[in-house]
Structure 1
Amino acid sequence: MPDGRGDADPRERPQSTARSGERGAERVRAGRADGAHARAGGGGRDGACRDPRQSPLRDHPRGSSRGAASSARASRASPPRDEGLSGTRPIATLGSHWVETVSDLTAVSRRLVTPGEIALDTEGDSLHHYPERLSLIQLARASGDVWLVDPIALGDLGLLASVFSAPSVVTVLHAGDNDLVQLKRRGFGFAALFDTSIAARFLGAKALGLDVLLQTYLGVELPPSRQRDDWSRRPLSEAQRRYAESDVLHLFALKARLTEELERIGRLAWVEEECAALAAQPAVERIVDPNAFARLKGARELPPRKLAILHELYELREQLARSADRPPFKILAEETVVRLAQEPPVDAAALAAVPGCTPKVIGRWGEAVLAAIARGRAVPETALPVLERTPRPRIPGIAARRIEALRQWRTEAAPRFGLEPGLLLPNRLITTVALAAPRDAGALAMLDGVRRWRAETFGAEIVAALAAP
């Protein structure tokens, strides 16, 4: 889109453009930690609609407390750094180049399309504007060159998209699922990539923040976090530029260090397979969900009349957020919207007694809120919303016993391999495998999402566990 705006409408829900059964394109479940692509820190941005108190600011938080970093180093048997190893030394920046014109982007694209690795990161403005905008793209080469690309000024990023689809280019990023979603929605494709967060998980790392990994493996300390900044404001401050540079500059050395360790324990192919699947994931499009208001916490406990009021309040908040160019949570917090529907005020005095309805809120939007409540009260009985509950599919008794057997095997096997149980065999795969009941590792490998590395390494054990019940 010309202004760089995303489509982060909370009324919209993701929908894959590919068939759900396609191998190698398995969707990442937001907020789950049961797969190799699970987000470091959990949760993750879903546009600009969420209150930051309820979910992390980014899908790949680089920040952790220094105490956490020290604890992570002490709790894992990471080998000492060898500064003499080729490719593992931190890189000194040559200075970043600002890219905001088509001629700039053309020159950068021609330089980057040559064979080699490109470090990638992105920044958004979800805490400050609505809908969220992709506000900055950081790129780096191992030479120390860094490019800060302004997608707001450029609009069309097609020249850059051609770089990442080149078969000779390897994209290096950290916990990059959200970065990839943002760019794939703009037509980007990725021929090859390496995600340092995925690599660290296969080494048994407990803390996956970029700052922890850089301190653990390279002794590099990142500059203070700027995650709450409005990255759409121009010009960027010097501190913002340094922060943006540091997010990509050290990824090459980190990749080299992690690769050495993965090769040492024979897991590099596992990571390469997971990264290939991440690269192959199709763009996640969005479709409008008319029942988005029902996802608010507490909504499903409301009777139909109060649901109608909640719906009107939700739509009002959306309209106000878009007209004010502010995230919805900065108009009214989700818990305030639900409270207003639970105990609908009838006048300004009653409205002022609702937690979250400050004098500032009432002064700006009080009349509109009361009008929305009145509209909800006026909805005819025949038009009141009804939320259908989708029943859970019934699992046959034999399959339930297989599920329990697989969980027990996973609990026992995870410490042996030094992996999280959810990485060894995610919950979603436990159900898939239990229902399919493959008789050998070959049949197991054919199941969607199982991956070759699981079938080859643990297939015999999994099949044996299935046979136990």
Structure 2
Amino acid sequence: MDTEFVRERTYFPQLALVQIVIDDDIALIDAAKPEVAALLKPMLEDPGILKIMHSCSEDLQAFKAGCRSVPSPVFDTQIAAALCGLGAGLSYLKLVEQLCGVTLEKGETRSDWLQRPLTESQRHYAADDVRFLMPIYAQLQERLAALGREAWLQADCARASAAAAEERPDANPHLSIRSNQPLDAEAQIRLRRLLLWRDARAIERDKPKRWIIDNDAAFALARAPIARIEDLDAILSRYPKSPKSARQHLFALLEKPIDAEERRIPLAGEPDAAQKARLKALQQAVAAKAAELGVPDGLLCSRKHLEYLLDTGEWPPVLAGWRRELLAGSFAPILATA
């Protein structure tokens, strides 16, 4: 399976096309038709049908938005390839070339998939996106079985489907903006307020978050306390696409006193020398284990998850299961010094 969707002017992806291959038959399904979602839903949710997809995280979101359903169980060929030691983040084109010896064209990557009728070139491109998934799956499944890593892939794919189905907004979006590190605690709290408001407004209006307020404008508003609405207007005037119609609401949002709950939120900051040393030691442990397994470091454990582990003392959910089993022993002496 694969999808084509459009997300340039909306918060939620607009599902335009669903490609399905069964045996030697390829179906291109017009997902813009209202009756299609109900027809696809039973197959998407059938636990007895394995859905083979490539790099499926955005496709899962598209299915959730377009069909109110998330495919499960899923076999993600990109993750499977990485677990087999073929490389990190391989594109479908690279994987087809590597495993099937076929070079595909990229021509319609930026195509308008909501237009009707589709062009012959679009139809050919869309069909190619699923044409080789079955032979790729067969090869990867055999390799995973030989390595004893089938359960690893099943766990990762199940977590991806669950995350798409849950669709929970980030409670601390300020942590993902790297440029906020120089901000003091109160400025980070103000930034978090702005970003939470932005997320809620983007969802409500189904508009891209950057259309509500971009990161630079939010950062400028949060940097220092704003005592007068004229000061807020002066900042907004430097950003032509800033939400001037929401000026009163933004002023009230920034002016509100900080409460005790907000003072307990996690904050971004520059780690001290000891914390940097521990992070480096954890990264070296990850690299050593990844080299032993023949998998990419980032697939095994990312820097972000190591930082979370050091900051909170808790293993993040993504590291539960097989990753924790592999890493806990080498992490233990490093974490003991924290």
Q: Quick one: distance in 2 between partners of 1:122 and 1:203?
A: 25
What are the Cα deviations for residues 59-95 of structure 1, in whole angstroms up to 9, with x where unaligned?
A: xxxxxxxxxxxxxxxxxxxxxxxxxxxxxxxxxxxxx
Compared CA separation, residues 348 and 143, structure 1 to 2 (3 A): same
User: How far does residue 194 in structure 1 lie from its aligned partner after superposition?
Assistant: 2.8
2:59 alignment counterpart: 179
1:285 alignment counterpart: 166
1:123 alignment counterpart: 4
Work out which of the residue numbers 308, 316, 322 in structure 2 matches 1:450: 322
Q: Which runs of 5+ in 1 are unaligned?
A: 1-119, 393-401, 437-446
Q: Which has the higher helix share?
A: 2
Structure 1 segment 253-272 matched on structure 2, within 5 A: 253-259=135-141, 261-262=143-144, 266-267=146-147, 269-270=148-149, 272=150
Q: Tell me which amino acid in the other structure corresponds to 1:246.
A: D
* Preserved contact between residue 44 and residue 69 of structure 2 (Cα < 8 Å): no
Compared CA separation, residues 425 and 386, structure 1 to 2 (3 A): closer
Q: Tell me which amino acid in the other structure corresponds to 1:196.
A: T
Q: Quick one: distance in 2 between partners of 1:230 and 1:290?
A: 33
* Preserved contact between residue 347 and residue 370 of structure 1 (Cα < 8 Å): no
User: How far does residue 449 in structure 1 lie from its aligned partner after superposition?
Assistant: 0.5
* Preserved contact between residue 223 and residue 242 of structure 1 (Cα < 8 Å): no
User: 1:273 and 2:151 equivalent?
Assistant: yes
1:389 alignment counterpart: 265
* Preserved contact between residue 127 and residue 230 of structure 1 (Cα < 8 Å): no
* Preserved contact between residue 310 and residue 376 of structure 1 (Cα < 8 Å): no
1:214 alignment counterpart: 96
What are the Cα deviations for residues 231-253 of structure 1, in whole angstroms up to 9, with x where unaligned?
A: 44444444433332222112122
SS of residue in 1 equivalent to 2:230: coil
* Preserved contact between residue 299 and residue 307 of structure 1 (Cα < 8 Å): no
SS of residue in 2 equivalent to 1:204: coil
What are the Cα deviations for residues 302-357 of structure 1, in whole angstroms up to 9, with x where unaligned?
A: 6758965984687479648855x542314542212322444778389945862x42
2:43 alignment counterpart: 163
What are the Cα deviations for residues 178-197 of structure 1, in whole angstroms up to 9, with x where unaligned?
A: 43355468344535x43211
SS of residue in 2 equivalent to 1:135: strand
1:415 alignment counterpart: 291
User: How far does residue 174 in structure 1 lie from its aligned partner after superposition?
Assistant: 0.9
Root-mean-square deviation (CA, aligned residues, Å) is 5.0
| Higher gyration radius (CA) | 1
Q: Tell me which amino acid in the other structure corresponds to 1:201.
A: A
1:200 alignment counterpart: 81
Q: Tell me which amino acid in the other structure corresponds to 2:321.
A: G
What are the Cα deviations for residues 388-428 of structure 1, in whole angstroms up to 9, with x where unaligned?
A: 33499xxxxxxxxx999986665445434422245557786
Q: Tell me which amino acid in the other structure corresponds to 1:346.
A: E
User: How far does residue 200 in structure 1 lie from its aligned partner after superposition?
Assistant: 1.2
User: 1:134 and 2:15 equivalent?
Assistant: yes
Q: Tell me which amino acid in the other structure corresponds to 2:76.
A: D
TM-score normalised by the chain length of structure 2 = 0.66
What is the number of equivalent residue pairs in this alignment? 309
SS of residue in 1 equivalent to 2:50: strand
Q: Is 249-258 or 219-228 further displaced after alignment?
A: 219-228
User: How far does residue 157 in structure 1 lie from its aligned partner after superposition?
Assistant: 2.7
SS of residue in 2 equivalent to 1:161: helix
* Preserved contact between residue 75 and residue 157 of structure 2 (Cα < 8 Å): no
Q: Tell me which amino acid in the other structure corresponds to 1:277.
A: A
SS of residue in 1 equivalent to 2:125: helix
Q: Which runs of 5+ in 2 are unaligned?
A: 269-277
SS of residue in 2 equivalent to 1:160: helix
SS of residue in 2 equivalent to 1:157: helix
Compared CA separation, residues 277 and 299, structure 1 to 2 (3 A): same
User: 1:245 and 2:245 equivalent?
Assistant: no
Identity of aligned residues (%): 24
Q: RCO (CA 8 Å, sep 6+): is it higher in 1 or 2? A: 1
